Amino acid sequence: MTDNLVLGAMLFGTVADERLSFEILDRFVDAGGVWIDTANCYAFWEDPSGFGGQSETLLGRWLARRPGMRDRVRISTKVGCEPTEAGRFPETAEGLSAAVIKNGIEGSLRRLGTDRVELYWAHKPDPVTPLEETVGAFGELVAAGTVGRLGCSNYPTWQVERARQLARAAGVAGYTAVQQHHTYLQPRPSTQPSVVHRFGAVSDEVLHYLEHHPEMTLWAYTPLLSGRYTRADKPLHPDYDHAGTTRRLAVLDEIAAETGTNRNQVVLAWLAGGTPAAIPIVGISSVDQLDDAFAGAALELTAEQRERLGSVA
């Protein structure tokens, strides 16, 4: 059993059909995987309706056809990004009011066919709803046993800490995880080509905060840049076109050769063994890719290799 790699189910039920999704899910569990990450809005941009829920619905069908499976996996899902009008995201995103959170978890549980989720995320900050209201609504779910833990995704660091302070003051459960985009390559300053959220990318400030709050865990989405480390048909975004990228890729190639692996596996090992450690969320479109990801999460880099990777500017 391994909990240092999360299976991202974002495109299950849309881009990945049921046969392929079930095949990947079965292989993930057979290989010792535990955590599956989804959201109530996945994947509204891929579905003709313009609304999400397809990923959770597919996971619910998979769980229903695998008796006993629900006790072997942990479900992570999110609320806050589902559009309320088709074709108008992000301006009509549902937000994080108490009513939305209540309705959101009820809908997610219904689609998943379960009575609980192990980790429930605020998908992105809500600029309108007071943090006190959001924190209180999430805390009620933990108190009721519907949710095990809470996390926030794409949040600025100050808001993470403010929400945690409010939870402590109110005597309710607070956030114990953050989910942001994190990978080895770095775009040019003041750009964020891999994410659509203003505070979606991990910053040095986020890492510093986590170093001083070891009770918090970091989940890293899009760690492999959607295949761009290894696939010639998927070039890097132009914002990665700078000398630092060339130097970092060269070191990745050196260490991949030394370890008999590839760039993807070295990136996953670098994330999983970092300080603070990150739990990569991998979006998979084949069983072979899944096996490759497990090998990367299990790879142990030497201290010298990690120093080389970290010293490249």
Euclidean distance between CA atoms 231 and 164, whole angstroms: 40
Look at residue 248 in the predicted model and tell me its pLDDT: 97
Task: Give the CATH H-level superfamily of domain 2-310.
Answer: NADP-dependent oxidoreductase domain (3.20.20.100)
Which pLDDT band holds residue 2 (cuts at 50, 70, 90)?
A: confident
pLDDT digits (tens, 9 = 90+) for 249-308: 999 999 999 999 999 999 999 999 999 999 999 999 999 999 999 999 999 999 999 999
**Mean pLDDT value across residues 128-135:** 98
Would you name the residues annotated as active-site residues? 42
Which pLDDT band holds residue 12 (cuts at 50, 70, 90)?
A: very high
Q: Please check the confidence at residue 1 and state whether its pLDDT lies above 90.
A: no
Euclidean distance between CA atoms 167 and 6, whole angstroms: 27
Predicted model pTM: 0.96
**Tokens at 48, concatenated:** 């003709």
Backbone angles phi, psi at 310, to 5 degrees: -80, -15
Q: Please check the confidence at residue 211 and state whether its pLDDT lies above 90.
A: yes
Look at residue 194 in the predicted model and tell me its pLDDT: 66
pLDDT digits (tens, 9 = 90+) for 253-262: 999 999 999 9
**Mean pLDDT value across residues 32-52:** 98
pLDDT digits (tens, 9 = 90+) for 53-80: 999 999 999 999 999 999 999 999 999 9
The share of the chain scoring above pLDDT 70, in percent, equals 99
pLDDT digits (tens, 9 = 90+) for 141-189: 999 999 999 999 999 999 999 999 999 999 999 999 999 999 999 998 8
Euclidean distance between CA atoms 290 and 33, whole angstroms: 10
Look at residue 167 in the predicted model and tell me its pLDDT: 98
Query: Which residues are bridge partners to 201 per DSSP?
Result: 181
Domain boundaries, the chain: 2-310
Look at residue 131 in the predicted model and tell me its pLDDT: 98
